[in-house]
Amino acid sequence: MTVLGDIAGALNSYLDDEVTVSIVDVDPPGNQVDINDVVLFQVRIENGGHINMSGVTLHVHGLNGVDVSTSSAGPWSDTAILSGLSIAGGSSKDTNNLYFKAPPSQRAAGTQLVSSHIYAWFGDWNHMFDNHTNGSETPAGVYTDQVHDN
């Protein structure tokens, strides 16, 4: 395989290998919500790799009768789309507040209510060439002198 083939393969699996998407800061906290409750949450995108991600489009889906919105007042839909996010290599970013409205009927414990995934993104290599502080320990300059006893 060529170097470009290796790079193409790494880019194709970048989201699986280097990126984690999780739902965080759920308010109210806990593992139970009431029927029709409006719940605040954020989505965290952790980019553990060396590629800066820009133009990230995130899809957030309500599951099992849940609707989602970017506002606590709605409008409500089964999908919310956020676009234009940027996450530098080796960093993470939380979205602005998002909201879900619990379904109008009871669901069993452990029911999936919200999911999110990255739908599209652009990458650049700048992080690989920018400001690396874990380089050589060899000093760039050395001061030399004699130390003696007065």
Task: Enumerate domains of the chain plus CATH numbers.
Answer: 3-127 (2.60.40.10)
Residue 91 to residues 9, 23, 145: CA-CA distances in angstroms? 22, 16, 43
Q: What is the pLDDT of residue 150?
A: 52
The reported pLDDT for the residue numbered 127 is 62
* Cβ burial 77-94 (10 Å sphere, 16+ → b, else e): eeebebeebebbbeeebe
Considering only residues 32 and 61, tell me which one the structure prediction assigns the higher pLDDT. Answer: 61
pTM above 0.85, yes or no: no
Percent of the chain with pLDDT over 70: 83
- The closest alpha carbon to 56, from 77, 86, 27, belongs to 86
Query: Would you say residue 27 has pLDDT above 50?
Result: yes
pLDDT for position 145: 45
Q: How far apart are CA 64 and CA 33, in angstroms?
A: 14
**Tens digits of per-residue pLDDT, 81-137?**
999 999 999 999 999 999 999 988 888 888 888 999 999 999 877 766 665 455 445
